[in-house]
Amino acid sequence: MDHYWKRWIREYLPALQRRPKWVKSRRNVQPGDLVLIAEDNVVRNRWPFGRVVEVFIGQDGGVRSARIKTANGVFHRPITKICLLEEAAALSLVTCHH
């Protein structure tokens, strides 16, 4: 299990946080998306999972922050601290096939 977490932290998690500014636009986080909240004072493999319940749009039309529901409550975080894991649309497709 330790080996899995070390590889996940070292190889996969950094890819979720890439922010290629001005080079490639990415899909905005939307309500219903499954995300990981990057917490500065928490070890990466302990970051909480949550579901986006509300987004806050900047003047440029991009999402700047979001309200996220976790098992421990609802939190408001900047987009730079949110790692998109699954898009809401993708999740609904998965649940429709079961």
Name which of 27, 24, 17 is nearest 83 in CA terms. Answer: 17
Can you give the CATH number for the domain in which 87 is found?
2.30.30.140
Q: Residue 26: what pLDDT? A: 67
State which H helix or E strand residue 82 sits in: strand 82-86
Q: DSSP string covering 10-38, please?
A: IIIHHHHT---TTT---PPP-TT-EEEE-
Mean pLDDT by 10 residues, the chain (98 residues): 76 65 68 90 81 94 94 93 80 44
CB atoms inside a 10 Å sphere around CB 40? 5
Domain that holds residue 81: 2-19+28-96
pTM of the model as a whole:
0.67
Q: Residue 60: what pLDDT? A: 86
State which H helix or E strand residue 6 sits in: helix 2-7
Q: Residue 20: what pLDDT? A: 55
Total domain count for the chain? 1
